[in-house]
Amino acid sequence: MNANLLKTPIVYLKGVGPNRAASLQSELGIATYEDLLYLFPNRYIDKTQFYKIAQLQRSGADVQIIGKIINIKTVEQKKGKRLVATFIDETGEMELVWFRGQKWIRENIKLNTLYVVFGRCNWFNGSFSIPHPEMELLTDYEQGLQIVMQPIYPSTEKLGNKGITNRVISKLIQQLFLELKDRFAESLSPQLLHELRLMPKKDALFNIHFPKDQELLAKAQFRLKFEELFYMQLQLISKKIQRKLKIKGYNFDKVGKLFNDFYAHHLPFELTDAQKRVIKEIRADVGSNAQMNRLLQGDVGSGKTIVAVMIMLLAIDNGFQACLMAPTEILANQHYEGIKNLLDGSQINCALLTGSVKKSERKPIHEALENGVLQILIGTHALLEDKVLFQNLGLAIVDEQHRFGVAQRAKLWHKNEIPPHILVMTATPIPRTLAMSLYGDLDISVIDELPPGRKPVKTVHRYDNNRLKVFQFLKEEIKKGRQIYVVYPLIQESEALDYKDLMDGYESIVRDFPLPDYQISIVHGKMKPADKAYEMDRFVKGETHIMVATTVIEVGVNVPNASVMIIESAERFGLSQLHQLRGRVGRGADQSFCILMTGHKLSSEAKTRLETMVLTNDGFEIAEVDLRLRGPGDLMGTQQSGILNLRIADLVKDNDILKTARYYALRILKDDPGLEHIDNLVLRHTHTQLLKHRNIWNYIS
């Protein structure tokens, strides 16, 4: 019954009408009773106290006073008129002042009648005054809800201009409660309410709008935040369970010759414990008859590639093809070269497909894919083209996933009838809370250990005017046989300027590091792919000492001999990008350095970023700082922030509630995956309703 009532168009609420309905819809997206009910206040003004005029302080605070107006007059002044009322209570006298809307006040104000007055009290010209006070007749106040913690609602300038003030919204919500009476269905199960001592739904909704005190407000907030996060987790986890039950996956049950041979004879190094553990987790997953959808997180340099290779071998052992998709050509090339090296001597057929592979070379690749001769395909987005058809793709690996859109992942999925196992690898550490929310329906493996012998990169922050010293240091490093990256920012909005900076920087480096002693490479997005590859190749082979580049080298590039990373205009990079860039060095046995160059003018946020980089090499720690600085939506990019459209919970601040919610969602679904038990009926019902009316979840792969 009340579900329907809640869907009533807002225009029917007493006090709304067509004009206000239109404004509420366009400004706040409020179309129904329910939307208004769920417009939660941003904050509250404490009105638990009443003051007497004699108690007022000159410091200028919000005060609430009961008293009456004994006279009202217009005072002429240089900059227009003001309306001044003399307001008294039994202890003294003060002024109420209006600069705008004077006519309305004059016509409507009642003299010698008790009012409750609220506003910021000033000390001015020897008396206390409140400009533009909020006023309500004492009799109305006594009949109303007697709001002691005044809710402040989200608003817009337009709403204010249309007279839909905070007070009006508050009144409308009061009216809403009158019309809805107590008819709010409970949406959590009795067990949850009991076990967590949660406030019932109807009380929570009332107290979130009109709390009587701080304690009730806190309880209402907890209840509603819990509910929001609980259903988010319930949704994600049940999706995962359903996927495992319903979506059949290829079963890689054989551990065959290729995998074993490689493991026994061709591993170039001993795997770290973390790598071994992750391989085990993945093997269990691909051998479980269900489709794998797993995120592999591992800091830069933690050795994800070898894990990918071994799982690809497993796929081939079981008679399937595998593909590895990288976000840039450079990275795809590098993966191709590296993997071909690793598989040298085996009979495995491996090919590279990127945008710059010639048409004539593509045809044989397409054919070999379709007749199954080709076992591993490595490439870029080019893999997603409709022409690329596999005979039996069993495993798709996506490297550095944060560069891939959701749609692209979905496309990979549809390359054959039974979806391949999907492994998404990322070096962008995602804070746990965020991972739980964004990827709660994926399985996650983490490589939390770097290969032995790595020296942590030393990071320093230097100002531009110390450049000469920095150059001197570079010359010493080059003398030791090391190579150097110099990276410039490149941002679309300022592209032309950024290219100029890059070229200026390049020229000054060429001047300071002259031929023939020094060889310098440059790589940027305006170059032809072939030229880029050529320059990159020279650097990889050690033929050039310095690589000047934009962030194209950010992701994945591996040159162990490079030991210095200079980041120009470092204040313009985000934390995760800085961390990614720094990960390009420190890959060999030598001590590596990261030098963050900036000017002297720095915002406080930029300072925090630079300090964080200097302080720690731990990607997860950096991700936490990033989350605090930028907030979850921004951190994950707009396309993925949909799920973060939370009404009341905050993923950063409500971390503990999120964990609790996830724990309970897991526990309930483990015992009753279909929510069929009578105790869980209310959960199933609410869950279904949410799915029907909100589509924010659908983006997840």
Q: Is 577 in the site for ligand ADP (CB under 6 A)?
A: no
Query: Minimum distance from CB of 536 to Mg ion (Å)?
Result: 16
- Binds 151: which of Mg ion, ligand ADP, none (CB < 5-8 Å by kind): none
- Binds 94: which of ligand ADP, Mg ion, none (CB < 5-8 Å by kind): none
Query: Minimum distance from CB of 301 to ligand ADP (Å)?
Result: 5
Whole-angstrom Cα distance, residue 422 to residue 179? 51
- Binds 269: which of Mg ion, ligand ADP, none (CB < 5-8 Å by kind): ligand ADP
The total number of residues shown for the chain amounts to 701
Name, in order, each residue with C-beta under 8 angstroms of 34's C-beta and a sequence gap of 6 or more.
6, 7
Query: Minimum distance from CB of 294 to Mg ion (Å)?
Result: 16
C-alpha dihedral sign at 48, 52, 53, 58: negative
Secondary structure of residue 576 in the 3-state scheme: helix
Q: What is the largest CA-CA distance in the chain?
A: 100
Judged by CB, which is closer to ligand ADP: 441, or 554?
554
| Segment near Mg ion (CB under 5 A); pick from 201-209, 554-562, 652-660, 677-685 | 554-562
Nearest to 649 by CA among 234, 235, 211, 226: 226
Judged by CB, which is closer to Mg ion: 297, or 544?
297
Is residue 306 within 8 A of residue 275, CB to CB? The reply is yes
For 160-218, what is the HEC assignment?
A: HHCCCCHHHHHHHHHHHHHHHCCCCCCCCCHHHHHHCCCCCHHHHHHHHHCCCCHHHHH
- Binds 464: which of Mg ion, ligand ADP, none (CB < 5-8 Å by kind): none
Q: Is 333 in the site for ligand ADP (CB under 6 A)?
A: no
Query: Minimum distance from CB of 318 to ligand ADP (Å)?
Result: 23
Whole-angstrom Cα distance, residue 138 to residue 116? 6
| Segment near ligand ADP (CB under 6 A); pick from 436-444, 468-476, 552-560, 693-701 | 552-560
Burial of residue 59 (number of CB atoms within 10 Å: 0-12, 13-18, 19+): exposed
Residue nearest to ligand ADP (CB): 303
Q: Residue from 131, 144, 372, 451 that binds ligand ADP (CB under 6 A)?
A: 451
Q: Which residues in the 213-272 window bind ligand ADP by CB under 6 A?
A: 269-272
**Which x/- pattern, by CB under 6 A, does the window 664-683 give for ligand ADP?**
--------------------
Query: Minimum distance from CB of 299 to Mg ion (Å)?
Result: 10
Residue 531: CB atoms within 10 A of its CB come to 13
Residue nearest to Mg ion (CB): 556
Whole-angstrom Cα distance, residue 400 to residue 423? 11
Judged by CB, which is closer to Mg ion: 166, or 426?
426
Nearest to 380 by CA among 333, 414, 347: 333
Secondary structure of residue 297 in the 3-state scheme: strand
Q: Is 583 in the site for Mg ion (CB under 5 A)?
A: no
Determine the straight-line distance between the first and last CA of the chain, rounded to whole angstroms.
Answer: 35
Query: Minimum distance from CB of 562 to Mg ion (Å)?
Result: 15
What DSSP element (H or E) covers 635? helix 619-636
Angle between helices 619-636 and 604-615 (to 10 degrees): 150
Long-range contacts of 601-605 (CB under 8 A, 24+ apart): 602/571, 603/571, 605/629
Query: Minimum distance from CB of 255 to ligand ADP (Å)?
Result: 20
Is residue 470 within 8 A of residue 486, CB to CB? The reply is no
Q: How far is CA 176 from the centre of its chain?
A: 34
Judged by CB, which is closer to Mg ion: 211, or 303?
303
* Pair of tokens at residue 308: 């990918």
* Pair of tokens at residue 400: 């550095």
Whole-angstrom Cα distance, residue 167 to residue 109? 17
Whole-angstrom Cα distance, residue 490 to residue 552? 9
Judged by CB, which is closer to ligand ADP: 208, or 446?
446
Judged by CB, which is closer to ligand ADP: 285, or 299?
299
Backbone angles phi, psi at 237, to 5 degrees: -70, -40
Judged by CB, which is closer to ligand ADP: 67, or 556?
556
| Segment near ligand ADP (CB under 6 A); pick from 160-168, 506-514, 553-561, 681-689 | 553-561
Judged by CB, which is closer to ligand ADP: 319, or 560?
560
- Binds 302: which of Mg ion, ligand ADP, none (CB < 5-8 Å by kind): ligand ADP
Query: Minimum distance from CB of 555 to ligand ADP (Å)?
Result: 9
Q: Residue from 558, 561, 591, 641 that binds ligand ADP (CB under 6 A)?
A: 558
# residues contacting ligand ADP (CB under 6 A): 19
# residues contacting Mg ion (CB under 5 A): 1
**Which x/- pattern, by CB under 6 A, does the window 289-328 give for ligand ADP?**
---------x-xxxxxxx----------------------
Name, in order, each residue with C-beta under 8 angstroms of 344's C-beta and a sequence gap of 6 or more.
none
Query: Minimum distance from CB of 42 to ligand ADP (Å)?
Result: 42
* Pair of tokens at residue 325: 């998709």
Return the DSSP state at 466. G
Backbone angles phi, psi at 405, to 5 degrees: -80, 165
Q: Is the peptide bond before 516 cis (omega within 30 degrees of 0)?
A: yes
Whole-angstrom CA distances from 423 to 248, 262, 279, 569 are 16, 20, 12, 35
Judged by CB, which is closer to ligand ADP: 205, or 326?
326
Strands (E), 333-409: 350-353, 376-379, 393-399
Q: Is 586 in the site for ligand ADP (CB under 6 A)?
A: no
Q: Which residues in the 416-435 window bind ligand ADP by CB under 6 A?
A: 427
Q: Is 104 in the site for ligand ADP (CB under 6 A)?
A: no
Is residue 171 within 8 A of residue 20, CB to CB? The reply is no
Q: Is 301 in the site for Mg ion (CB under 5 A)?
A: no
Q: Strands 483-487, 520-523: parallel, antiparallel or unpaired by DSSP?
A: unpaired
- Binds 223: which of Mg ion, ligand ADP, none (CB < 5-8 Å by kind): none
Q: Is 340 in the site for ligand ADP (CB under 6 A)?
A: no
Please calculate the CA angle 318-323-326 and round it to the nearest 5 degrees. 150
Q: Residue from 249, 298, 556, 583 that binds Mg ion (CB under 5 A)?
A: 556
| Segment near ligand ADP (CB under 6 A); pick from 80-88, 214-222, 556-564, 637-645 | 556-564
Query: Minimum distance from CB of 286 to ligand ADP (Å)?
Result: 20
- Binds 272: which of ligand ADP, Mg ion, none (CB < 5-8 Å by kind): ligand ADP
Nearest to 135 by CA among 73, 215, 235, 67: 67
Judged by CB, which is closer to ligand ADP: 559, or 610?
559
Query: Minimum distance from CB of 628 to Mg ion (Å)?
Result: 27
Judged by CB, which is closer to ligand ADP: 306, or 578?
306
Query: Minimum distance from CB of 311 to ligand ADP (Å)?
Result: 13
Q: How far is CA 574 from the centre of its chain?
A: 13
- Binds 377: which of Mg ion, ligand ADP, none (CB < 5-8 Å by kind): none
Query: Minimum distance from CB of 298 to Mg ion (Å)?
Result: 8
Query: Minimum distance from CB of 305 to Mg ion (Å)?
Result: 5
| Segment near Mg ion (CB under 5 A); pick from 47-55, 380-388, 556-564, 649-657 | 556-564
Q: Strands 520-523, 393-399: parallel, antiparallel or unpaired by DSSP?
A: unpaired
Query: Minimum distance from CB of 277 to Mg ion (Å)?
Result: 18
Please report, as ranges, the residues that interact with ligand ADP according to CB under 6 A: 269-272, 275, 298, 300-306, 427, 451, 556, 558, 560, 587
Please report, as ranges, the residues that interact with Mg ion according to CB under 5 A: 556
